[in-house]
Amino acid sequence: MSLLSPIYLIGLFSIGIPLWLHLMNRENPPIQDFASNTFLEPTPVASSTNKKLRFRKLLLLRLVLLLVLVFLFAEPIVNRLGLWSSVDTKLHALVIDQSFSMRHGDRWAQAIGKAKELLNSLPHGDKALLVTADHNMKLLGDESTDVTSLGNLLNSLKPGYGRLRYDVMIAQLQSLIDEATLPVSVHLFTDAQSSGLSTRIRDLVPGGATEFRVVPVGFDTDKNVFIRSVKQFERQGEGEATVYIEGLDQDEMPENTVSLILDDSSELSRTIEKIPSGENVARFTGLALKKGINRFSLRLNISDALTEDNQYFFAIESGQRYLAHFTSNTKNSNAEVFLRTAVLADDRFVANKPDPMITEIPVETRLIIVPDESALPKTQISKVDQFVRNGGNALVVTGRAIPSSESITDDSVSRSNVESTIGYIDKSHPAIADTASWREIHIFDPVTFKQQPNDRILISLSDGSPFIIERLVGKGRKIIIVSSLDGIQNDLPTSPVFAPFVLRTIRELAGINNGASELTAGSNLVIEPGGQLFSPSGENLVKLSALGKNNRIELNEPGVYEMRSSERSGAITVNADPHESSMERLGSAFLTDWQSLVNDEPDAISKENPQARPDIQKQPIWYGLLTALFVLVILELLYANHLLNIRRGTAS
């Protein structure tokens, strides 16, 4: 037995109270009328053994009562045996793989059929629980022995569009196993795609399960052709899209085409071709774009067992221009030229030429670019900071000279004369990619920068000093390059990473095409207060009652969504996760080993140590103690009253 709240054992000290009372019992003796006290003298209470003996029973009763009360508060639990328990009832968790790949052929029907077979073969008294698993795990109803209702529930299920990862599924299943009051057998009905595998095998083992079975559906010979991805961009008002196809056999290529439908109206068709990299693509060029969001859907004109991934959605926003306001005290500096060139590689951005005479920031500014902050007067630095504090964003280059800005103080920037290379790279930031190329950068004249506590280091030098940081200022943020871009202090501007870095950074700061606009089915999208999200069919997915707060919406249906909010407006495309379209499966040997990882564990323990209780369950016994307490209280009342009556009888 163990105690959930052993701290309450401190109540055992209360046992001293009845002990003290019974020892110091000067109790009021019975009053007896007597003719005269003339010949009586007060005498000390004699130690009457007869009296003590009688009261000892009452004392014992009270001590036991207190003990039970203390243990009640301490919440004792006993270990209830599972494996060795005389109760054989089990809980069978039927986990149905509901990921996108289960749409292939008759995999879904196979899974449902096998699940029903298992339900019908369960021993009498065993319970079953239905669970679906894709990007999330969901429990369907409660544990039940009603095979018919469970079967009906199975019939109502449909495969989804999400991706199943086995490690995530096992982690979520673990809480179910831990909270179950019966031994749990897990039956996983899945197509056993290798895309669901994690890198750590230990993450695939559900602890505490008495049995783990993988029921594979589908066939190793299953094939699938699908659209993996699309690269799209706009150039001078015209759109281009390159569609990447996977799963094609070499000899099937010449016959297959991809159709592109623009805004549910015009349709184009292109033949799939193999490009030098070995990939199969279909190219669409010269797409006529209208201003605003242009919705495209692609259709792979191939008939196969999984048709849902033969379609793909993407969008090109045309006509939208974003002003990148350059704030500089000099014209045509090297830094400005380098930055402007990179910015204008994205047609959506317009970059003004900085004019030292014009200090006001235009209203339509989407983001500010400061090529050299150290050369800016304090007033202009203040205006930039005010813009950022009000919710704007800025890309700032600290510059070569010692700056005089309030955000980078005189004390915070100093110079080191030792050449440095790149050290830490934060790959998780949207602006950072291609880490290998970053490490080719040389910093000839590093600048030491004292960062603020909340600064996020995106790239640091080998000595740990920051090179590129992200700093939150008020409602906005800055991405700061701690150096200059004159080509002298470092070779960043001439590095292959520069332009893509600048483009990613300005898109991130402008809030456009930040990765969240292309999502896989099952992704969650957070919509800021006041924002609205429209489905591919035009339905507003944010309820009226939820307009005042952040809303998290799960996007399961592929298509093009439209987001409208103060922070961001634009298209969000949702497609099936291409990992699910790959038909590569886990081999039968692997599945056997996987199952044995779980199934062999309890057997091994039981063979080596018969006393082992791997599936011990904790059973609270508070209700038993409460009943005992109630009985003891009644007994104490009755017995104490009985003694009282004796004393009254003595008195009379």
Kindly state the smallest distance separating residue 36's Cβ from another protein, in Å: 4
**Within positions 51 to 80, which residues make up the interface with another protein, using CB under 8 A?**
51
Which DSSP string corresponds to 246-266?
ES--GGGGGG-EEEEEETTTE
Kindly state the smallest distance separating residue 41's Cβ from another protein, in Å: 7
Give the tokens for residue 452: 């603020």
43 lies in the site for another protein, by CB under 8 A = yes
Phi, psi for residue 33 in degrees, rounded to 5? -70, 135
Pairing of strands 349-351, 456-461: unpaired
Query: What is the total count of residues that contact another protein (CB under 8 A)?
Result: 25
Kindly state the smallest distance separating residue 27's Cβ from another protein, in Å: 9
Pairing of strands 91-97, 127-133: parallel
86 lies in the site for another protein, by CB under 8 A = no
41 lies in the site for another protein, by CB under 8 A = yes
> Which of 1, 23, 31, 357 is in the footprint of another protein by CB under 8 A?
31
Largest CA distance in the chain: 133
Cα–Cα distance for residue pair 66/58, rounded to 1 Å: 12
> Which of 23, 24, 39, 148 is in the footprint of another protein by CB under 8 A?
39
> Which of 1, 13, 24, 36 is in the footprint of another protein by CB under 8 A?
36
Closest of 580, 574, 554, 522 to residue 190, by C-alpha: 580
453 lies in the site for another protein, by CB under 8 A = no
Distances (CA, A) of 467 to 335, 420, 462, 473, 596: 16, 10, 10, 18, 50
> Which of 45, 87, 201, 401 is in the footprint of another protein by CB under 8 A?
45
Kindly state the smallest distance separating residue 635's Cβ from another protein, in Å: 23
Give the tokens for residue 494: 């001439």
Strand order in the sheet with 137-144: 137-144, 127-133, 91-97, 184-190, 211-216
Kindly state the smallest distance separating residue 38's Cβ from another protein, in Å: 5
In the complex with another protein, which residue's Cβ is closer, 181 or 645? Answer: 645
32 lies in the site for another protein, by CB under 8 A = yes
* 241, β-bridge pairs: 232, 284
123 lies in the site for another protein, by CB under 8 A = no
Cα–Cα distance for residue pair 81/62, rounded to 1 Å: 34
Q: Which residues of 347-380 are buried (b: 16+ CB within 10 A; e: fewer)?
A: ebbebeebeeeeeebeeebbbbbbbbbbbbeeeb
Measured in whole angstroms, the distance separating CA 427 from the mean position of its chain's CA atoms is: 19
Kindly state the smallest distance separating residue 51's Cβ from another protein, in Å: 6
Cα–Cα distance for residue pair 326/384, rounded to 1 Å: 11
Kindly state the smallest distance separating residue 625's Cβ from another protein, in Å: 36
28 lies in the site for another protein, by CB under 8 A = yes
> Which of 13, 24, 42, 610 is in the footprint of another protein by CB under 8 A?
42
29 lies in the site for another protein, by CB under 8 A = yes
In the complex with another protein, which residue's Cβ is closer, 52 or 231? Answer: 52
> Which of 1, 13, 23, 33 is in the footprint of another protein by CB under 8 A?
33
Cα angle 536, 135, 147; round to 5: 105
Kindly state the smallest distance separating residue 52's Cβ from another protein, in Å: 11
Q: Near another protein by CB under 8 A, which window of 28-36, 140-148, 489-497, 521-529?
A: 28-36
Distances (CA, A) of 249 to 101, 252, 409, 574: 19, 5, 62, 27
34 lies in the site for another protein, by CB under 8 A = yes
Kindly state the smallest distance separating residue 29's Cβ from another protein, in Å: 4
In the complex with another protein, which residue's Cβ is closer, 34 or 623? Answer: 34
Q: Near another protein by CB under 8 A, which window of 45-53, 117-125, 150-158, 248-256?
A: 45-53
Closest of 279, 354, 288, 367 to residue 322, by C-alpha: 367
Closest of 50, 63, 66, 49 to residue 9, by C-alpha: 66
Q: Near another protein by CB under 8 A, which window of 25-33, 216-224, 466-474, 589-597?
A: 25-33
Q: Near another protein by CB under 8 A, which window of 27-35, 127-135, 257-265, 316-324?
A: 27-35
24 lies in the site for another protein, by CB under 8 A = no
611 lies in the site for another protein, by CB under 8 A = no
What are the residues binding another protein (CB under 8 A)?
28-46, 48, 50-51, 647, 650-651
